[in-house]
C-alpha cells in the first residue's frame, strides 16, 4: 500500500488510492457453477462454447444480411467516389471547379455502412490491379483511391485539421509499418521541420501529388473520410473546404462525410454558410437504417427458410426487441446486443449443453456416456429425466414417440431422446418458417402492396412475427382464406405461380418433403380455365365482373387447402420434449443490463445497503439455496449498523433543501458513537462469555455494564477516535459528492445543497 505512505508526504499533491484487491474483477470462471444442484461438472464452460458457436452463426448471418442491405448504396457511393473528377460527373459551364462531397446519413446509426464503402473502394482497386497484373498480386500495384481518415478529436482547430488532412496522405504508413510512399514508387529526401513546407501546408500535399503523378498517371483519387462530421469545428471545416477548393484542380480530393443527422433537413444546409456550400458539389445519401432494417434482419435471421438459427427467439425476447426498437432507438447494433444478451442468458440453463450435440465436450458418444455416469453428474441426469417426464405428460396422446423405455431410460436412451427432440424441434421451427413465408406470399398477392415504409406499418409487421411465434395466426388465416375466395382467375393463377416458384426455390430436402403441396399447386393451376386468365381490367363494365363459372369452386378449394396447410405448419414452438433448449421461450429478457436506471439503483442501495449486497449475492449464487449468504430480507437495520455513507445519506434524506455541514457532521458523529459503544459492548460480551466458561463469574458485571457508558481508556484514544470520525465523515461526504448528490454553493461555504428530493421509501 504505497498510497498510504504517500498520504504523509507533504510534497505530493495528488494521491491515487488503489482499489481493494478483494473488489477487483475476477475473470476466472473455471469453477463458477451457477446451478450446482442440476449441472454437470464443467458445464458452464461447455455451455459457453456452445453459446459461442450459436452466437457466431447468428452474427455471421446478420452481418451478411446487413452487407446485402447496404450493397446498393455502397455501390452508388463507390462509383461516385471513383468518378468524382471524371468528365462524366462535371457539368460543363460551371463557373469554377467544385469540391466533390458525399455525405452518408445514417440517423439512428449504421456503423457498418462506411466500412462497407471503404471495403468496396479497396475491392475495386484490387480488381483493377488484378486485371493489370494478370491476376498476380504485385506490391507495385497502384491504388485508384487513397483513403485518409479524419476524426474530430484530432482536429480541434484549422491547423490541426489541415495537418491531419495533409499528413494523412503524405506520411502514410501501411500495415507492415513501412513507408507507404515507397509502394507508390515515390522517393524523397527527409523533410526538415524548419526549412521545408509546414506539415499543415496544402502546398505539401500538392507537391506530393505532383510527384505521384509522375509515376502514376492518371493519379489516384484522394478520399478524405470525415468521421462524426457533426462534431467537427464548423468554422475550421468551412475554411478547410475553401482551401481545398483553391487547389481542387490539382488535387482530386473527394470528401466522404459520416453524418448521424437525417439527410433532410440537412445538417450542412443549416450550419454552413451559403458561400461554403457554393464551393461544394454536395450529395447526401441516406443509409438504410431504422425500424425497417431491424425488421428485415429479424425476419431474415429467424423467419427465413434459408437459414436455421441454433436457438430460436421466444416471444419474450421478441416483445422486448419490438418495444425497445420502436420506443427508444432502432438500429442493428442494438438488435445484436439484445440477441447476444438473450443468447447468453439462455445458455445459463444447464440443459442447453445439448444445443448442438450430445457429446458433452468429449469426442465420442462413449465419452459422453462416461461423463454422465460419473456420480457428480447424477444431479444433472435426475433433472434431465424429470424434465423429460414433465414434457411427456404435456405431449398429446397421438404424438409420435421414440421407441425407448420412457419410464426408465438408460443414459444412452436419454441421449437418444435428446437427439430426437432436437430433430423434432428443428423440424417444427422449419415448418413454422415455411408456413410463415407461404402466408406472406399469399398476403402480398391478395392485398395491394403499400409502398409506404411507415413506422406503424413496420411495427405491425414486427408484431405479426411475434404472434406467429406464439402460434396465434388463426384469425389471419381465416382472413386470407376469405380473400382468396374472392380472387379472379388471373389473380389466382398469379398466386399459384408465385407459390410454385417459392416451393421450387427451396433446398432439395424441403422440396422433397413438400412434394404433395407442389403437386397440388401444379394440378390446381391446370384447372384454371384459360379464358378466365384474360385480364379483367380491360373489362369496360367494372360493375358487372364477368366471373368464369369454374373459378369460385376452385378458389374455395385453394382457400381450404391453404387453411389446412398453414394450420398444420404454423404451430406454437413451446411444445414438445425439451423444447426450451432450442428456444428462448418466455424467459424474460434481462433488460436492466441493456437499459439500467443507475441513479434510482444507487439511491436504493444507499438506503438499504444490506439488501443491495444481499440481492447481488443471491443473483450470483443459486436462488438462496446455498449456505453462506447471510441475508435476511425482512430484518430492519438500525442506523448505527449501516455503513458510513448510508448513515450520512439517511441524514441527508431527512434534511431540508440546504444542509449545514457541521450539523451533519455532529449527527454523524453521534451515530458513530453509538456504533462504537455497541460494537465495544458486543466485544466485551463475547470476551465475557468466553471467560465465563472458564470461571463462571461475571453475570452481575455484565448486567451492570448494559446501560453504562463505555468511555475511552485514555485521552489519547479519544483524540484518535475523533480524528477517525472526522476522516470517515470526509471520506463518506466525498463519496456522496462524487456520486453527484451534493451541490456546492458559493454563497455559504458551510452549507451544501441537496440534489435529490422526494425519494419514496
Nearer to another protein, 553 or 590 (CB): 590
At residue 480, φ and ψ (nearest 5 deg) are: -65, -45
Q: Which is nearer to another protein, 56 or 601 (CB)?
A: 601
Q: Measured from the CB of residue 448, what is the shortest distance to another protein in angstroms?
A: 21
Cell of 383: 433433472
Residue 434: name the closest of 320, 284, 571 by CA.
Answer: 571
**Cell numbers at 4, concatenated:** 498510504
Min CB(188)–another protein separation in Å: 5
At 518, which helix (H) or strand (E)? helix 515-527
137 vs 657 by CB, closer to another protein: 657
Distance of closest approach, residue 653 Cβ to another protein, in angstroms = 16
What does residue 743 show for φ and ψ, rounded to 5 degrees?
Answer: -120, 130
Q: How far is the CB of 650 from another protein (least distance, A)?
A: 21
Q: At its nearest, how many Å lie between another protein and the CB of residue 285?
A: 11
Q: 607, 759 in Cβ contact below 8 A?
A: yes
Pick between residue 208 and residue 582 the one whose CB is nearest to another protein. Answer: 208
Peptide bond into 194 cis (omega under 30): no
Q: Which lies closer to another protein via its Cβ, residue 204 or residue 481?
A: 204
Q: Which of 574, 577, 311 is nearest to 424 (CA)?
A: 577
- Nearest approach in angstroms of CB 108 to another protein is 6
Cα separation of 691 and 698, whole Å? 9
For another protein, the closer of residues 107 and 698 by Cβ is 107
**In the complex, least distance from residue 297 CB atom to another protein, rounded to whole angstroms:** 17
Cβ atoms of residues 310 and 57 within 8 Å = yes
Nearest residue to 79 via CA among 264, 218, 280, 254: 254
Rank residues 53 and 273 by Cβ distance to another protein and give the closer one.
Answer: 273
Question: Which CB, 688 or 751, lies closer to another protein?
Answer: 751
Nearest approach, Cβ of 215 to another protein (angstroms)? 11
CA-based R_g, the chain, Å? 36
Nearer to another protein, 39 or 258 (CB): 258
CA 313-315-319 angle, 5° bins: 105
Largest CA distance in the chain: 118
- Residues 753, 742 contacting (CB under 8 angstroms): yes
Q: Least distance from C-beta 88 to another protein, angstroms?
A: 5
Question: Nearer Cβ to another protein, position 127 or 597?
Answer: 597
Cβ atoms < 10 Å from Cβ of 695: 8
Nearest to 563 by CA among 462, 509, 483, 444: 483
Q: How far is the CB of 83 from another protein (least distance, A)?
A: 10
**Strand pairing category for 253-259 and 99-105:** parallel
CB atoms within 10 A of CB 144: 20
Pairing of strands 253-259, 221-226: parallel
Amino acid at each position: 500500500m504505497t498510497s498510504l505512505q504517500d498520504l504523509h508526504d507533504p510534497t505530493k499533491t495528488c494521491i491515487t488510492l488503489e482499489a481493494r484487491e478483494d473488489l477487483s474483477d475476477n475473470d476466472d470462471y473455471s469453477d463458477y457453477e451457477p446451478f450446482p444442484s442440476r449441472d454437470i461438472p464443467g458445464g458452464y464452460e461447455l455451455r459457453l462454447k456452445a453459446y459461442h458457436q450459436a452466437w457466431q452463426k447468428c452474427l455471421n448471418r446478420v452481418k451478411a444480411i446487413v452487407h446485402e442491405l447496404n450493397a446498393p448504396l455502397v455501390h452508388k457511393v463507390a462509383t461516385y467516389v471513383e468518378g468524382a473528377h471524371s468528365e462524366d460527373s462535371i457539368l460543363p459551364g460551371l463557373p469554377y471547379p467544385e469540391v466533390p462531397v458525399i455525405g452518408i446519413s445514417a440517423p439512428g446509426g449504421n456503423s457498418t455502412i462506411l466500412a462497407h464503402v471503404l471495403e468496396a473502394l479497396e475491392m475495386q482497386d484490387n480488381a483493377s490491379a488484378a486485371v493489370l497484373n494478370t491476376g498476380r498480386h504485385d506490391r507495385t500495384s497502384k491504388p485508384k483511391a487513397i483513403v485518409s481518415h479524419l476524426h474530430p478529436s484530432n482536429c480541434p482547430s484549422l491547423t490541426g485539421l489541415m495537418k491531419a488532412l495533409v499528413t494523412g496522405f503524405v506520411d502514410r504508413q501501411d500495415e507492415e509499418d513501412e513507408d507507404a510512399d515507397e509502394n507508390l514508387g515515390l522517393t524523397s529526401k527527409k523533410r526538415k521541420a524548419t526549412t521545408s513546407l509546414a506539415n499543415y501546408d496544402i502546398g505539401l500535399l500538392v507537391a506530393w501529388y505532383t510527384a505521384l503523378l509522375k509515376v502514376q498517371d492518371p493519379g489516384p483519387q484522394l478520399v478524405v473520410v470525415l468521421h462524426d462530421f457533426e462534431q467537427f469545428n464548423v468554422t475550421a471545416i468551412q475554411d478547410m473546404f475553401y482551401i481545398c477548393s483553391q487547389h481542387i484542380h490539382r488535387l482530386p480530393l473527394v470528401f466522404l462525410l459520416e453524418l448521424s443527422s437525417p439527410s433532410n433537413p440537412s445538417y450542412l444546409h443549416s450550419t454552413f454558410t451559403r458561400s461554403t456550400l457554393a464551393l461544394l458539389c454536395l450529395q447526401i445519401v441516406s443509409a438504410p437504417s431504422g425500424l425497417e432494417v431491424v425488421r428485415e434482419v429479424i425476419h431474415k435471421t429467424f423467419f427465413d427458410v434459408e437459414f436455421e438459427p441454433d436457438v430460436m427467439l421466444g416471444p419474450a425476447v421478441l416483445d422486448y426487441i419490438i418495444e425497445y426498437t420502436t420506443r427508444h432507438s432502432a438500429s442493428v447494433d442494438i438488435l445484436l446486443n439484445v440477441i447476444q444478451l438473450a443468447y447468453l442468458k439462455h445458455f445459463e440453463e444447464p440443459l442447453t449443453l445439448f444445443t448442438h450435440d450430445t457429446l458433452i465436450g468429449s469426442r465420442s458418444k462413449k465419452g459422453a456416456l462416461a461423463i454422465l455416469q460419473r456420480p457428480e453428474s447424477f444431479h444433472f441426469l435426475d433433472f434431465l429425466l424429470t424434465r423429460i417426464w414433465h414434457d411427456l405428460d404435456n405431449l398429446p396422446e397421438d404424438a409420435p414417440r421414440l421407441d425407448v423405455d420412457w419410464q426408465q431410460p438408460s443414459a444412452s436412451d436419454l441421449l437418444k431422446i435428446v437427439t430426437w427432440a432436437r430433430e423434432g424441434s428443428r423440424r417444427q421451427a422449419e415448418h413454422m418458417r415455411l408456413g410463415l413465408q407461404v402466408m406472406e406470399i399469399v398476403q402480398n398477392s391478395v392485398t395491394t402492396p403499400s409502398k409506404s415504409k411507415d413506422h406503424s406499418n413496420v411495427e405491425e409487421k414486427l408484431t405479426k412475427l411475434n404472434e406467429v411465434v406464439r402460434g396465434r395466426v388463426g384469425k389471419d388465416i381465416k382472413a386470407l382464406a376469405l380473400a382468396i375466395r374472392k380472387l379472379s382467375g388471373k389473380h389466382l393463377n398469379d398466386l399459384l405461380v408465385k407459390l410454385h416458384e417459392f416451393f421450387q426455390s427451396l433446398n432439395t430436402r424441403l422440396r422433397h418433403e413438400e412434394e404433395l403441396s407442389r403437386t397440388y399447386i401444379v394440378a390446381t393451376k391446370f384447372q384454371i380455365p384459360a379464358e378466365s386468365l384474360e385480364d379483367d381490367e380491360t373489362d369496360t363494365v367494372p360493375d358487372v365482373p364477368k366471373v368464369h363459372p369454374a373459378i369460385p369452386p376452385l378458389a374455395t378449394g385453394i382457400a381450404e387447402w391453404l387453411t389446412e396447410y398453414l394450420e398444420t405448419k404454423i404451430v406454437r414452438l413451446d411444445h414438445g420434449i425439451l423444447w426450451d433448449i432450442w428456444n428462448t421461450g418466455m424467459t424474460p429478457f434481462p433488460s436492466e443490463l441493456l437499459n439500467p436506471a443507475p441513479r434510482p439503483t444507487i439511491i436504493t442501495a444507499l438506503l438499504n445497503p444490506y439488501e443491495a449486497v444481499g440481492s447481488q449475492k443471491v443473483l450470483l449464487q443459486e436462488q438462496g439455496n446455498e449456505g453462506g449468504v447471510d441475508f435476511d430480507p425482512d430484518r430492519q437495520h438500525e442506523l448505527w449498523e449501516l455503513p458510513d455513507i448510508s448513515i450520512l445519506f439517511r441524514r441527508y434524506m431527512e434534511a431540508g433543501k440546504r444542509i449545514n455541514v457541521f450539523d451533519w457532521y455532529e449527527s454523524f458523529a453521534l451515530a458513530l458513537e453509538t456504533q462504537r459503544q455497541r460494537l465495544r459492548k458486543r466485544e466485551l460480551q463475547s470476551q465475557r462469555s468466553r471467560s465465563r466458561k472458564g470461571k463462571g463469574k461475571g453475570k452481575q458485571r455484565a448486567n451492570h455494564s448494559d446501560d453504562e457508558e463505555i468511555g475511552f481508556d485514555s485521552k489519547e484514544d479519544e483524540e484518535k477516535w475523533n480524528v477517525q470520525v472526522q476522516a470517515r465523515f470526509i471520506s463518506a461526504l466525498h463519496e456522496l459528492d462524487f456520486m453527484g448528490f451534493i451541490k456546492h454553493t458559493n454563497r455559504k461555504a458551510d452549507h451544501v445543497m441537496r440534489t435529490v428530493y422526494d425519494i419514496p421509501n
